[in-house]
Chain A
């Protein structure tokens, strides 16, 4: 039955529990049906790219924690990889493995949140989020042991990581890895075949492979549309070329596929972590920077300021949300001439209009949840 009514504009956000921050979606509705959708971004714009031009390369690392605040490790990693490319720094083996392990732990933490919040957007009243928080808390404990912080980690350094893990870290990580498969089995059991989640997300927010590529989306969204593209395989960084893993690929490109892919990636991350923990070599965790660097005497492994050669570099990694890239131009000074973030949340959000038109309000919320945005990264 259709009830013909006047078009009706609803502002979802900037203050709305389902926009995961201060993002605004202006929906034009005919009854419950969406006839137009506009995305209005910029409520959380903090001018990071411009601010970074005034700070030294090392001082910019904390900024990268604060773009994607649910995945600070991968933010750090993408930035330091870009600077290392610029300066041609070889990173020690142990640091590479530590980076990989931290990035995969971060992926589990971030995907746990994404899955829980997605279920929340489908209407499950906080239970999945609360259960997912258990694992995330344990991972944050590990981060805290390694670097002293839980959310804004500031762990990676140009040339390595800020410090080696303490002795108690490995046993605790192994303990966590033993626990996680049981938890994942529980989530798969409860969520994967949940009839209502299937009913709400299958066939909703479909993005064909062609559309996905045209919009240059990445990460679980691109893989959900059936494109097997993962930078960890396509352009390996850190220690990913030494690890064995598979890329999860969807078939329909709908919200359900994106959700399933995140669940599958939890398993893959776990598999990678098991390998990486076994293969972890010993040795230094930081490469001393060359003679061109200015090193304050007290902190030998974390020089505050240095001058990279003139040039440009683009470092990219597979963050939990997709291709996270840092493009850095150096004019030979102590701070970047241009500092650009290619943030996956922002680019993955752009096909929202395409996916939302023709669906209902309830679907729009599910679609937005399946994109898994972090507004700090959308607006930077």
Chain B
């Protein structure tokens, strides 16, 4: 690791500034990518008119959003309403600090990086709840409650699947975990944890099929409903940065980050290419999911988390514990975890096939005075 400045404090400040500048630029580009990708998937063209291939659309939108009036509802709780945005954005940027993008490019290589990332990103929930309550809007409140319930619940399988990987690598440092994957990425040993991580990651990003807190057709944007202009764009930025971070984390934990498949000491440019390719693959997957699937209902979402993902996440940890304690060969991990992943898929499939909660219609009939 090289220092950007002699003083440790100045160095940290410089690095944070670089993150704070680069990230919004990246987000502007990413909005363009998402709109293009989704446009293609929906047989539309996406942005076309601003700049070549509509590339400058993101900048035009940014200018528009920044010059827009910052509307605050009269009855909103002012401090809560206004601070909520920061409570959402700041943790996202704090989390970005922990992610090493290559062996040399990172802000801080923390011994507890993985744990830090998961803890800090959990703070964003407070912002959603604040926005939901502070807006004094029923949809926002409903969305805020949904966001709180969903994000808290899905944090657990997310953390447990990350813990499974940490067990295997015997470290909580993302740097060490990546360096361990120079021969085989952890996805080969932990398919179950990988699947759980991706599902829980989708839920943490509240993207389809888990976009319940912001569901446009139900709660019309949920906590974000009353925000406009620059504050609304902060929500968007937080969403896109989290998308990149979760994708980057997935590629670090499961796909070998900048190491696999070219070994630990490849050139920096190659490391950058590897990370960009892997992270983009996850980002595109999340975008693809967004336009491909409908939304679950909140009770189905909770059932998926507590009845399926959580037990299987524990199962993965137990498998890892057994293999590590009794020193079984590593291929047993692949087989056990793979079998468990298939079992989980089969259970989800079967439940989905026969599901649909049947309501007691007779009770409702009496309520409206129609008894047949």
* Direct chain A–B contact by Cβ atoms under 8 Å: yes
Interface residues of A (CB under 8 A from B): 8-11, 16-18, 29, 31-32, 119-127, 130-131, 134, 194-204, 206-208, 210-211, 214, 254, 256, 353-355, 357-363, 365
* Contact call B359/A358, Cβ cutoff below 8 A: yes
Contacts of A11 in B (CB 8 A): 138
A369 CB to closest chain B CB (Å) equals: 8
Check A357/B298 contact, CB under 8 A, given A10-B142, A127-B41, A201-B356: no
Using CB atoms, name the residue of chain B closest to A201: B356
Compute how far the CA of A197 lies from the CA of B42 in the bound complex, rounded to whole angstroms.
Answer: 19
Given A123-B211, A199-B355, the answer on whether A365 and B142 have CB atoms closer than 8 Å is: no
Decide if A198 touches B355 in the complex (CB within 8 Å).
Answer: yes
Docked CA distance A365–B349 (Å): 25
How many Å lie between the Cα of A349 and that of B238 in the bound state? 40
CA distance A261 to B258 in the complex (A): 52
Assembled-state Cα–Cα distance A10/B299 (Å): 20
Of the candidates A29, A127, A134, A254, the one having the most CB atoms from chain B within 10 angstroms of its own CB is: A127
Q: Which of B353-368 contact A (CB under 8 A)?
A: 353, 355-361, 363-365, 367-368
| A196 CB to nearest chain B CB (Å) | 5
B365, A211: Cβ atoms closer than 8 Å: yes
Given the known inter-chain contacts A120-B217, A357-B368, please indicate yes or no for A206 contacting B297, CB distance below 8 A: no
Residue pair A10, B139 in contact (C-beta under 8 Å): yes
Q: How far is the CA of A198 from the CA of B208 in the complex (A)?
A: 16
Q: In the assembly, what is the distance between CA of A8 and CA of B144, in Å?
A: 15
Expressed in whole angstroms, the Cα–Cα distance for A258 and B191 within the complex equals 39
A282 to B296: give the CA distance in the assembly, Å. Answer: 53
Measured CB to CB, the nearest residue on chain A to B372 is A210
Nearest CB of chain A from residue B122's CB, rounded to whole Å: 21
B370-A17 in contact (CB<8A): no
In the complex, the answer to whether B218 meets A362 with C-beta atoms within 8 Å is yes
B300: A residues at CB distance < 8 A: 199-200
Q: A16-B220, A17-B217 are in contact. Are A124 and B294 (CB under 8 A)?
A: yes
Chain A residues with CB under 8 Å of B296's CB are 123, 196, 199-200
Cross-chain pairs A/B with CB under 8 angstroms, 8 sampled: A122-B295, A125-B211, A125-B291, A196-B209, A196-B352, A200-B296, A357-B368, A362-B215
Whether A130 pairs with B295 at a CB distance below 8 angstroms is no
Using a CB–CB cutoff of 8 Å, the interface residues on chain B facing chain A are: 38, 41-44, 138-139, 142, 145-146, 208-209, 211-212, 215-220, 290-300, 349, 352-353, 355-361, 363-365, 367-368, 370, 372
Find out whether the CB atom of B364 lies under 8 angstroms from the CB atom of A130.
Answer: no
Interchain CB contact under 8 A, A127 and B359: no
B269 → chain A, closest Cβ, in Å?
37
Q: Considering the chains assembled together, what is the distance between the CA atoms of A188 and B215 in angstroms?
A: 25
Question: Which residues of chain B have C-beta atoms less than 8 A from A121's C-beta?
Answer: 217
Cβ of B139: which chain A residues have Cβ within 8 Å of it?
Answer: 10
Q: A357: which B residues are within 8 A, CB to CB? A: 364, 367-368
Chain A residues contacting B291 (CB-CB under 8 Å) are: 124-127
Q: State whether A354 and B370 are in contact (beta carbons under 8 Å apart), knowing that A121-B217, A134-B43 are contacts in the complex.
A: yes
B42 and A203 within 8 A (CB): no
Of chain A, the residue at the smallest CB distance from B296 is A196
Chain A residues with Cβ below 8 Å from B355 are: 198-199, 202
Contacts of B215 in A (CB 8 A): 123, 362
Is there an interface contact between A131 and B42, defined as CB atoms closer than 8 Å? yes
Given contacts A130-B43, A358-B364, A361-B218, contact A196 B294 (CB under 8 A): yes
Chain A residue contacts of B368, Cβ below 8 A: 353-354, 357
Q: Are B372 and A211 in contact (CB under 8 A)?
A: yes
Whether the pair A200, B364 counts as a contact (CB closer than 8 A) is no
Q: Known: A18-B218, A126-B42. Is A32-B298 also a contact (CB below 8 A)? A: yes
User: Which A-chain residue is minimally distant from B295 (CB atoms)?
Assistant: A123
Residue B298 contacts which of A119, A197, A354, A360 (CB distance < 8 angstroms)?
Answer: A360
Contact B352 A195 (CB under 8 A): yes
Report B210 CB to chain A, min CB distance, Å: 10
Q: Which of B42, B298, B352, B359 contacts A198 (CB 8 A)?
A: B352
